[in-house]
Amino acid sequence: MCLHSRFETMKKDKAYKCIACGQDHLDKDTVGINKKLIGENVTSFYCMYCLADYLGCEVQDILDKIEEFKEEGCKLFS
């Protein structure tokens, strides 16, 4: 039906916010990689920067991981 209203519903669905620095509107890749690396049942999320810090790696490493998972067809990133 109306695509626009569907997007509106999705946006309101849940506001993902970084628990470390408070950055909000985390995108689905960020949320996906949190689930992938920390656990699918996580209820709190980190932004890319805080996640890299938490894991002791570089942001670029995480971006590479996301690409890897996407290539594998991981549903968390579809």
Q: Interface with Zn ion by CB under 5 A: which range of 6-14, 22-30, 36-44, 67-75? A: 22-30
CA distance between the termini of the chain: 22
Q: Is 62 in the site for Zn ion (CB under 5 A)?
A: no
8/61 with CB nearer Zn ion: 61
Contact at 8 Å (CB) between 75 and 51? no
Q: Is 44 in the site for Zn ion (CB under 5 A)?
A: no
Q: Is 37 in the site for Zn ion (CB under 5 A)?
A: no
Q: What whole-number distance in Å separates Cα of residue 22 and Cα of residue 53?
A: 15
